[in-house]
Chains A and B, each alone.
Chain A
Amino acid sequence: MEPLPAVGSATQPMPAALTITGLTAGYRDVLALDEVSFSVPRGALAALIGPNGAGKSTLLQVLLGVLKPWQGTITVAGHPAGGAGRFGYMPQSSQVDWDFPVTVQDVVAMGRYAHRGPGRRLGAADWAAVEQALVQVGMETLRERAIGALSGGQRQRVFLARALAQEAPILLLDEPASGVDALSEQAIISILQRLAAAGTTIIVATHDLASAAEHFSYVLCLNRRLVAAGPTDTTLTEATLNATYDSRMVLVRVGERLYAVDTGHHG
C-alpha cells in the first residue's frame, strides 16, 4: 500500500527535533529497515509501533549509534547526528545485566557521565540533577540499593531517572512498560508527558496499542518500511494499523480507551 503522507504538516508548526531520511539498516546481510524517512516535532511523545521483527529495536540501535546504517541520514535539530548524537536511552528490562554491581544512584549518575569529559568527576550541578531525577521517580530512599534487589517497577524507574538526569533533548525508550504493573506504567507515562510538555522529544517503542492511542501525541508505524507517521488522532486508523501489522484489526472505542481487536490471522 501507499505510505501515508508524512509529518510536519500545517497542524505542526514546531521545528523537527529529529529527521530521518532514507534510512536503511540491518544485521550482517539481513535487511531490517528499508528506506525509512520521517521526522518528529520537538516536544512530541511518539509511540513507535509495529510487529515483532518490524525493525523497532534496529531503529533505536541506529539512533543510539550502536549499529551503523547502510544508507540514510539522521539529523537532530537540523544538525547531522552522525549516528551517535546526544540521546537519552532507557533499555528494555531484559537487556539489562541486573547482576552488575551498581547501586541505584550509580546508574542514575551515568546519565551525567557524558556531561563531563574523560578523567573528570561529576560536579555539584551533576549531583543536583541526579538528586532531582531520583526524587522525580520516587527512588531517593532506595539510592544505596543494588539494582538486582529491586522490583520490576522500581527497576524501570531507575532507568527512567537516568534518562531524566541526562537532560538529553531526545529520549528513546524500549518497551518501558514491560514487566511493570499498571500503577508504575501510569507513573512512567505521566512523567513522560510532563517532560514532553517541557520540550523533550520522546520516542517509545511499545507493543501496547491501547496505551499508544490514549497517551501518546504522535505515532510512528513501522514494518521494515515506514507505514505512517503523524499525530495520533489522524494517523492511528484501522487502515494504518492493518497495514502495519499485516492483519485485520478493528479499532473499538470503549469510553476513553481504544482497543485493537484482531479479527483475522496474521499475514
Chain B
Amino acid sequence: MPSIPDIMASLGAWLAGPLEFDFMRRALLASVLVGALCAVIGAFVVLKGLAFIGDALAHASFAGVAVALVGGRDVYAGGAAAAVFAALAISFISQRGRVRADTAIGVVFVAMLSFGVLVMSRLRNYSASIFEFLFGNVLAVGPEDLWLIALGGAAIVGVIALLYKELLFVAFDPAMAAGAGLPVAFYETLLLVLLAVTATLAMRALGIILVAAMLVTPAATAYLFVKRLHHQMLLGALIAIGASVAGLYLSFYGNFASGATIVLVSVGIFLLALLVAPRTRRGGAPLRAVLEQ
C-alpha cells in the first residue's frame, strides 16, 4: 500500500508535469484569466439574459478575424473591431424597437459569421484556421497573446469596478435609473461593448463557439449561492479559475481539446451546484409569480 508521502510526491509530479512546458504555463495563465474575466461580466449576462448576445458577438468577431488574417493584420484588433461594431449595431437596432431584439441579433450575427467564412475561404488551409478560431487552441497562446489578455482583461474589470454602481442600477432597474437622470442607453451599450471585447480576448483560449459557455456557466453556478451581485462576480471567477485549471490538466493528460474540456468541467460544477444549492432563498419565486397571474 503506498504511503502518504508517496502519494503526495506522485501528485506533485502529476501537477508539475504540464508546467515543464512554456506553452502549458502560458495556456494555464490564459485559461485562468479568460475564465475569470468571462465570469465577472457573465454575472450581467446571466441576470439580463444576454447569453444569445454574447454568443452572437463572439461569432460576429469572426468577420474581423477573417479580414485581418487575409489582409495580414492583427487578428485581435480585427476581431474586436467586428465584435464592437456588432454590439453597436445590435444596440442601435434594439433601441429603435422596429424589430424584436433577438431577431436583430440573429440577423447581425449570421451575416457577420457568413462574411467571415466567405473571406477566409480565399485562404489556403482555411478549414484548419476556421477550426482553431471556432473551438480555440489555448496551447497556441503566445507571450504577446497573454499580455493582451492580461491587460485587456484588467481594463474591462477596471471599467466594471469603476462604474459598478451605475451598471448595477441600470441592470436592476433601468426605469428608475432613467428617472434619476442616468444615461441608461449609454450604460447598456457600454456593457455590450465590454462583452464584445471579452469575447474577442477569449477567442484564442476558448474559441468563439465556446465563449458563450464560459460567459454563462460559472456565473450561473455562482448565482445559486449568492445574494449580492459582486459576490456573484467573485464566486463566479473562483469557479471559472477552478474549472480552467482542472480542465486544462484533464486535457493535457487525456489529450482532449482544451477549450471543450474546460467548458465541460464548468458544466459539471454547475450540475453539482444545482444539487447542493439552497432551494428556499429565491427558488421558485418566478414560477409562483407566473402561476398567480
Contact = CB atoms under 8 A, between A and B. Distances in A.
Interface in A64-108: 64-66, 84-89, 91, 94-103, 106-107
A172 interface: yes
19 contacts: A27-B97, A64-B179, A65-B184, A84-B178, A86-B181, A94-B289, A98-B282, A98-B289, A100-B171, A101-B223, A101-B228, A102-B172, A110-B169, A110-B177, A114-B180, A114-B181, A119-B163, A148-B285, A162-B176
A118 B228 contact: no
Which size class do B's interface residues fall under?
35 or more
Interface in A120-138: 121-122
Interface string B163-187: 1011011011111111111101000
A4 to B, nearest CB: 29
B285 A101 contact: no
Range, interface on chain A: 35 or more
A217 interface: no
The 3 closest A-B pairs by CB, nearest first: A148-B282, A114-B180, A146-B227
B7 interface: no
A168 interface: yes
Contacts of B174: 66
A113 B166 contact: yes
Interface of B: 47, 97-98, 162-163, 165-166, 168-169, 171-182, 184, 223, 226-229, 231-232, 281-282, 285-286, 289, 293
B229 to A, nearest CB: 5
Given A64-B175, A84-B179, A98-B282, A103 B289 contact: no
A28 B179 contact: no
A75 to B, nearest CB: 16
A63 interface: yes
Contacts of A121: 165
B181 to A, nearest CB: 5
Contacts of B232: 101
A166 interface: yes
Contacts of A100: 47, 171-172, 229
A103 B179 contact: no
A149 interface: yes
A146 B162 contact: no
A99 B282 contact: yes
Contact of B175 (A28, A89, A103, A114): A89
Nearest to A148: B282
A166 B180 contact: yes
Contacts of B226: 101
